[in-house]
Amino acid sequence: MEKETCPIEIKDLFKQYDKKGPVVMHGISIKICKGEIVGYLGPNGSGKTTTIKMITNMIKPTSGKVLVNGIDAQKYPKKAMKHVGALIEVPGVYDYLTPRELLTYFAKVYSMPKKEIDLRIIEVMSEVKLSAVIDKKIGSFSTGMQRRLMIAKAILHDPDILILDEPVIGLDPKGIKEVRDLIKKQAAKGKTVFLSSHLLSEVSETCDRVIFLNDGKIKEDDTVENINIKATNNTIDVSLLTSVTEKMIQHIGSLQGVTSVTKDNRGVIIYYDGEPQTSHVLLNTLIKTGYKVYSFKPADGGLEDFYLSIMGDEKGVN
């Protein structure tokens, strides 16, 4: 069998911004293979931008490795980034430039052949539906237009890999749809896409696979299809006569086959591997431990509850 090519591979990344500060990435490993559209989902502060900045070599990992198309991004950044287009944070520093000026500048940064530049700029501006404003000052653009321009910048050199950090954040529904359609169009061309979002709906709508991130750790990594199955089939709703304690939640969470535990008004919701054997052992353990169980039944919490249970509700999803 032909070896699967994975244009993005990160291995055991740790990040601590300041020597005395907290560790914000705790050994993240991710493989993204050719043609995949992968969502990187996590609440604010979970480490999405930090990861993306390490992949694109804007900041250095404290330890760990990033390979882009098999090339070490720290050792050979220029070569590694040659086939990457990235959208990272929305800068306001280009206000006095026009799209044509901005894109011409970046075309040179990307070392694009001189005679292709003018035509390619016209092409990408048409692709993001901004042809009419190619010579207008960027400062006068709406947030949606600016975001589309940044996507034009990311796809300018026709990269195979697109890395997009919160591409729809701050946009209105129309802007969201426009950017989403643009991303899907790029994906349809066979590009590999890695996009971050704090919105579950965004990733479940756009991506094939989702990586759940919380507090700098990966909590789940699976296809949207499998995650949907897990969210609906792998849930047990346990009702208890006594109130739930933190210790109880920790204990249940530590049991074999349990993904996460969340408190609800009558007891706990347990997300587990879906194995009947696990369910059997769980029920036995709860009773043996002395928890006053009065009902133990499968539940359909749906994707939203699954997300909350994995992320913990202390941070929320916004």
Ligand X SMILES: Nc1ncnc2c1ncn2[C@@H]1O[C@H](COP(=O)(O)OP(=O)(O)O)[C@@H](O)[C@H]1O
CB of 59 to Mg ion, least distance (A): 13
Q: How large is the greatest C-alpha to C-alpha distance in the chain, in angstroms?
A: 76
CB nearer ligand X, residue 48 or residue 219: 48
Contact 107, 157 (CB under 8 A): yes
Distance CA(17)–CA(280), nearest Å, equals 45
Applying CB under 6 A, does 46 fall inside the site for ligand X? yes
User: Judged by CB under 6 A, does residue 23 bind ligand X?
Assistant: no
Report 35-54 residues binding Mg ion (CB under 5 A). Answer: 48-49
Note whether 45 binds ligand X by CB under 6 A: yes
Distance CA 65, CA 159 (A): 22
Total residues at interface with Mg ion (CB under 5 A): 2
What are the residues facing 126 on neighbouring strands?
Answer: none
Among 6, 24, 97, 317, binds ligand X (CB under 6 A): 24
Q: Contacting ligand X (CB under 6 A), which of 47, 61, 175, 267?
A: 47
Indicate which of Mg ion, ligand X, none lies near residue 24 (CB less than 5 to 8 Å, by partner kind). Answer: ligand X
Structure token digits, residue 171:
């946009």
The site partner of 97 among ligand X, Mg ion, none (C-beta below 5 to 8 Å per kind) is none
Of 50, 56, 146, 279, the residue at the interface with ligand X (CB under 6 A) is 50
Q: Cβ of residue 129: shortest distance to ligand X, in angstroms? A: 28
Q: How far is the CB of 53 from Mg ion (least distance, A)?
A: 9
CA 148 – CA 230 distance, rounded (Å) = 35
* Residue 40: strand pairing partners: 196, 211
Four-point Cα dihedral 277, 282, 287, 288, nearest 10? 80
Strand ranges inside 132-177, DSSP E:
161-165
Decide if residue 17 touches ligand X (CB under 6 A): yes
Based on CB atoms, which residue is closest to ligand X, 153 or 198?
198
The distance from CA 69 to its chain's CA centroid, rounded to whole angstroms, is 19
Footprint on this chain of ligand X (rule: CB under 6 A)? 17, 21, 24, 42, 44-50
